[in-house]
Amino acid sequence: MLAALLIPLDEHPGDNFFQAYWHILSDPAHCAVEITLTILLDGLLLGLLWPMVKTYVNSRLQRQHAELDAEHGIHHHEDHVHIDRGANVIPHEEHPEHD
């Protein structure tokens, strides 16, 4: 069957599915249009949707981080961190998941 696909075909595809498929696949203009549309659509999707997805994920992670900091009495300042005395903080060496 593969040999039938590789046999030179007429310039105009006939009623045969494989002839039409091979004609479209081997047509340089069609391939160029497919590549152009792929670049345009991917560019639009990445250019428009990715910033919105990234903003959503970042805001969600920042919210979770703030909740954990509040739960453990941690306050972030520009270049250092403060931990409230008596806060619910387990030392790293005593943490149950520490190996």
DSSP secondary structure letters along 28-84: HHHHHHHHHHHHHHHHHIIIIIHHHHHHHHHHHHHHHHHHHHHHHTEEE-SS-EEE-
Q: Which of 61, 69, 65, 66 is closest to 89 using CA atoms?
A: 69
How much is the mean pLDDT over the chain?
A: 78
This prediction has a pTM of 0.47
Q: Which pLDDT belongs to residue 37?
A: 92
First-to-last C-alpha distance (Å) of the chain: 59
Structure tokens at 92: 């790293």
Q: Could you give the count of Cα atoms lying within 13 Å of 74 in the half-sphere of its Cβ? A: 13
pLDDT tens by residue, 18-53: 888 898 889 999 999 999 999 998 988 888 888 999
